[in-house]
Structure 1
Amino acid sequence: MVEQTHDRSGLDELPTGRYSDRELSWLAFNNRVLDLARDAQRVPLLERAKFLAIFSSNLDEFYMVRVAGLKRRIDAGVAVSSAAGMLPRDLHDAILARTAQLMTEQSRIFATQVRPELEAHGIRILTWADLTAGEQHRMHELFTERIFPVLTPLAVDPSHPFPYISGLSINLAVLLRNPTTGTRQFARVKVPSILSRFISLGEGRFVPLEDLIIQHLDEIFSGMQVLQHTTFRVTRNEDVEVEEDDAENILVAIEKELLSRKVGRPPVRLEVEDTIDGEMLELLRTELDVSSREVFKLPAPLDLTGLFALAGVDREDLSYPNFLPKTHPDLVRGIETSAPADIFKALRKKDVLLHHPYDSFATSVQRLVEQAAADPQVLAIKQTLYRTSGDSPIVDALIEAAMSGKQVLTLVEVKARFDEQNNIKWARKLEKNGVHVVYGMVGLKTHCKLMLVVRDEPDGLRRYAHIGTGNYNPKTARQYEDMGLLTCNPIITDDVARLFNHLSGMTQETNYRRLLVAPQGIRTGLIARINHEIAHKRAGLPARIRIKVNSIVDEATIDALYRASQAGVPVDLWVRGICALRPGIPGLSENIRVRSILGRFLEHSRLFWFENAGRPTVGIGSSDLMHRNLDRRVEAIVSITHPGHIAEIGELFDMAFDESSVSWHLSDENWTPVTTNADGRPLRDIQERLIERTATRRH
């Protein structure tokens, strides 16, 4: 995929107001998550509860990062409009208003749909009054033995200032009265996060931990009279900001920044029970320094991320059917025994295009690392690690390889948001065991998903590579939809080798034959492809653009797609999350279709398809079409040339845009769920179709 300079001619001819705001578009995405919690026809009950938890978790991160950043701009007096034309204060107001609507709707879905249906199936989230006498006795013993010892009640008085409230913790606000003096006093009790939020009583019965603590407030504040109590929760700015002087200091800087998270992070949201007393609310609001618009009154229980606890309930009838990934056919073909396939032998025959979670990660990518670690002919292994699991077999294999004398390089991105602490831990472990660890590049996050294996073979050194769209994380590989290419094609492996040298040796390499690499080359490369499609269309040749990403925000790319639409090029965009492009506007984007697909697996792959006059140019990679990916990250897209692989990716796009598939359709700025046909019959879920196809494969 050759880079070409982007021709920006005609840009001024495009109308103003052509972008949707990215933050409001993200909220629209989270509303689509709520749609799944609403969907009793297609989504099993326990999965609907899980989607309520995912909605809450998503919103927490959105406020900790995006809203926190917006507030910083407002506080700094920045009055620059967004690409969509909104000033920071106006955008903040719009976000708060939309959030209030969404959180109210989430509470309604839980209270009137999901919770009653759970109870009808014997799964109950109870109050203390609902417990039997025997259960109350057991919970009293549990409180005395395991909960009371870890509680730290904090009073507020002239000698005790208002305590620091940690972000996302559930807290009890308690109003006390001294029976001797008659004075009233405020106190706070933090609900311990180290204990399960919903305590299992067995047989599908749960009680919120905060309810258990509330019933024992008289013991916690012995000798005092409890006048009032309520729960509240604060969301704070939790984004990591690091000034990088040089690569050597990145790790230390990150560690210091993580420590600073514990104090001094300003609140961006306050959640309280809707029954809270006005005086107590005013005290909390004043002490936490949040505006009335940043207060969200909700029915108890607060923080529905606690519904993740229900995932452990053993009710197959209320969950998605079990799904077992299968080994890719090209990695088992010709194997006569039950021994693992020889990955190197398979790749010398042909490239392998993986589609997770349908194709097993364990018997493909993970197997490649493990085989390389154990193979005496392997001389070196290089790998990027952006996010991985705490008990990663990939990390263990890399350590095994280093201890056996192989040259092992890992590029650990310690700036991976909210995984910083975990990545630091594994970076230290890798270094301790002889792995050469590089901590990213100054000013850039390394987000590309690359692995390179160098092997000494009879005809000389041969390199094997994996280029993927997702992280080297065996756990999320079973939950996220991703793609990856396994290859020993010398052109691709040479590109990957030079990219690794660029990452570890700080070279100025920008010349790649089968890769597009950000920050220098992805935007210009993709826009060049878009312009080629415009030229093909004008020449009467086949032209079409199909792109699948998590989000599209980059204005230059969006404008190029608008110009393609104006030239008559059909453009299909498959976008899971944010879409700042507005399709279906006459004279601008009437040739653009946008679809979103959410479901059992998180759609995570990034795919790029250009018709190229009947000789499709296709790529897969790590990059979304956002400023951070294109300008501030090292990303890689590899071109796919095998006709079978091109056809496979083309079929995925066909399925996604098939009118018989469940999806959300975007028109201008409005998303519409399409789940049934004109006769009211349910449409097919693309993920279910792929699961069925996998189940019927011979291997």
Structure 2
Amino acid sequence: LTDDAVHETVGPLDLGGLFALMDLDRPDLKHPNWTPIIPPRLAHDDSDIFTVIRERDVLVHHPYESFQHSAQHFIAAAARDQDVLAIKLTLYRTSRDSPFITSLIRAAEAGKQVACLVELRARFDESKNVRFARQLETHGVHVAYGVVGLKTHCKCSLVVRRERGGLNTYAHVGTGNYHPHTAQLYTDLGLLTCHPQITHDALNLFNLLTGRGYATGFTHLLVAPETMRRRFIGMIDREIANSRAGKPARIWAKMNALEDQRLIDKLYEASCAGVSIDLFVRGFCCLRPGVENQSENISVRSVVGRFLEHSRMFHFANGKDDPREGDWYIGSADWMARNLSGRVEAAVPVLDSAARDTLVSIFQTSQRDRTRAWRLNADGTYTKLAAQPDDPAGGPERLGTFLSLMHQAEARRVPSS
């Protein structure tokens, strides 16, 4: 090897081996156990998940709220329900003992139409996903492998159910994988809805992925690589126009990484037009905030702590002072060229007022964090924020994002009967 191919590092090469330390019986060195709450609207033993969704959309925030009792329960209930005719699901990563695989097989064996999009190129999970695909096919599930040349990264599922008024369609669109183990470690969002335009778009998406349709007619979902970047740029352009017209103009976004040059350039343009831009980018960020005559109106922070920040959420003021108004989206895509051009991704609008209130609360909790938050400087370095003497003892400033959201969730916990 040449010298430039050799890199020195201090410490162990395989940091994954440190996971073995988690098995040590040292509770004094670990976080206190956290048991996710059951989403209050799904917490009653006699609650039917489809009835609950028909009443109003359900937004869930993992791991503060239980993945098992929301997304996982949605598919398990569909597999058992005699009135469910079809189930469709995208599978990027899941656990070796995946309850989703079990539910899909049970549904297929019960005579339901079941389709699963399995991404065979999910990094590090290739062989596992091949085994899952073969297992599903053996039990009668229609397995598809996506669009040639694109990796399928969207997190969507669809249920078609026979009801008194005819057929009704339900969808789950999320920011994280259908993986019950990582759902306890990563922060993610998911929306359960039967909104007819959203479910129609989801059906079109599955038709595209299974080779039964073309990428047309997405009115509510933002779908990459077809519409997502263009729609996001259009919403940023609208904020620019509103700012120049003297209307409220604001962009809030949370993601894992920001690298797409076209979106970065558009954010710079928005900053120069006076749009207030507040970004939480957990990983690498190619945008430089606070640069004179370029990005003075852009703030970038990263929150690092007990859970891995993994959710993607986007807000555009659309001329509204109140952040509970305007446009809100959650989805699977970071603002990276690979996601927006080389992957099938989906983001869903959050239309329910209570769900939007939740998103505002989540974002504002992170905005107040002075314990787990780092600020990106104009020179590319990060500065760890520090609580101020007059910050409230029980607020996010001192507790940080994760503990604050755990406390908020605990206050909503429904006592077990």
Of residues 68, 81, 86, the one that matches 1:375 is 81
Specify the alignment match of 1:635 in structure 2.
Answer: 345
**Aligned runs of 1:134-149 on 2, under 5 Å?**
none
Distance 2:230 2:60 in 1: 27
Specify the alignment match of 2:68 in structure 1.
Answer: 362
Q: Does 1:527 align with 2:233?
A: yes
Distance 1:466 1:299 in 2: 44
Distance 2:260 2:370 in 1: 31
Specify the alignment match of 2:361 in structure 1.
Answer: 651
Specify the alignment match of 1:688 in structure 2.
Answer: 403
Which structure carries more relative contact order (alpha carbon 8 Å, separation 6+)?
2
Identity %: 49
Structure 1 residues 653 and 501: alpha-carbon distance in aligned structure 2, compared to 1, 3 A threshold: same
Deviation at 1:658, TM superposition (A): 1.8
Residue pair 1:446, 1:634 contacting (<8 A) in 2 also: yes
Distance 1:469 1:643 in 2: 20
Q: Does 1:666 align with 2:362?
A: no
Specify the alignment match of 1:502 in structure 2.
Answer: 208
Structure 1 residues 651 and 310: alpha-carbon distance in aligned structure 2, compared to 1, 3 A threshold: same
Structure 1 residues 630 and 298: alpha-carbon distance in aligned structure 2, compared to 1, 3 A threshold: closer
Residue pair 2:362, 2:405 contacting (<8 A) in 1 also: no
Q: Does 1:542 align with 2:248?
A: yes
Structure 1 residues 579 and 297: alpha-carbon distance in aligned structure 2, compared to 1, 3 A threshold: closer
Unpaired runs of 5+ residues, structure 2, are none
Q: For 1:490-539, what per-residue CA distance to the aligned partner results, in whole angstroms no more than 9, with x for missing partners?
A: 11111111111111125223221211111011111000000000111111
Specify the alignment match of 1:309 in structure 2.
Answer: 20
Structure 1 residues 374 and 679: alpha-carbon distance in aligned structure 2, compared to 1, 3 A threshold: closer
Amino acid at match of 2:16: T
Specify the alignment match of 2:181 in structure 1.
Answer: 475
Q: For 1:610-642, what per-residue CA distance to the aligned partner results, in whole angstroms no more than 9, with x for missing partners?
A: 000114111000111111110011111111111
Specify the alignment match of 1:331 in structure 2.
Answer: 42
Distance 2:98 2:221 in 1: 28
Cα RMSD after superposing both structures: 1.7
Structure 1 residues 591 and 476: alpha-carbon distance in aligned structure 2, compared to 1, 3 A threshold: same
Deviation at 1:439, TM superposition (A): 1.0
Of residues 565, 588, 600, the one that matches 2:271 is 565
Distance 1:608 1:528 in 2: 13
Larger-Rg structure: 1
Specify the alignment match of 1:293 in structure 2.
Answer: 4
TM-score if structure 1 supplies the norm length? 0.56
Distance 2:168 2:11 in 1: 61
Higher helix share goes to which structure?
1
Q: For 1:264-285, what per-residue CA distance to the aligned partner results, in whole angstroms no more than 9, with x for missing partners?
A: xxxxxxxxxxxxxxxxxxxxxx
Residue pair 1:445, 1:634 contacting (<8 A) in 2 also: yes
Specify the alignment match of 2:218 in structure 1.
Answer: 512
Of residues 415, 428, 443, the one that matches 2:149 is 443
**Aligned runs of 1:206-285 on 2, under 5 Å?**
none
Structure 1 residues 344 and 304: alpha-carbon distance in aligned structure 2, compared to 1, 3 A threshold: closer
Residue pair 1:414, 1:440 contacting (<8 A) in 2 also: no
Distance 1:623 1:300 in 2: 33
Amino acid at match of 2:179: N
Distance 2:219 2:15 in 1: 49
Specify the alignment match of 1:181 in structure 2.
Answer: none
Q: Does 1:429 align with 2:96?
A: no
Q: For 1:322-371, what per-residue CA distance to the aligned partner results, in whole angstroms no more than 9, with x for missing partners?
A: 00001111213xx3xx45x3111111111001101111011111111111
Deviation at 1:297, TM superposition (A): 4.5
Aligned residues: 405
Residue pair 2:62, 2:186 contacting (<8 A) in 1 also: yes
Distance 1:654 1:299 in 2: 38
Specify the alignment match of 1:203 in structure 2.
Answer: none
Residue pair 1:527, 1:557 contacting (<8 A) in 2 also: yes
Structure 1 residues 592 and 331: alpha-carbon distance in aligned structure 2, compared to 1, 3 A threshold: same
Specify the alignment match of 2:98 in structure 1.
Answer: 392
Task: Report SS of the residue matched to 1:683.
Answer: helix
Task: Report SS of the residue matched to 2:274.
Answer: coil
Distance 1:357 1:503 in 2: 29
Amino acid at match of 2:31: Y
Structure 1 residues 618 and 297: alpha-carbon distance in aligned structure 2, compared to 1, 3 A threshold: closer
Task: Report SS of the residue matched to 2:299.
Answer: strand
Deviation at 1:584, TM superposition (A): 0.2
Residue pair 2:369, 2:401 contacting (<8 A) in 1 also: no
Distance 1:557 1:300 in 2: 37
Specify the alignment match of 1:410 in structure 2.
Answer: 116
Distance 1:562 1:534 in 2: 11
TM-score if structure 2 supplies the norm length? 0.94
Distance 2:381 2:354 in 1: 36
Specify the alignment match of 1:605 in structure 2.
Answer: 311
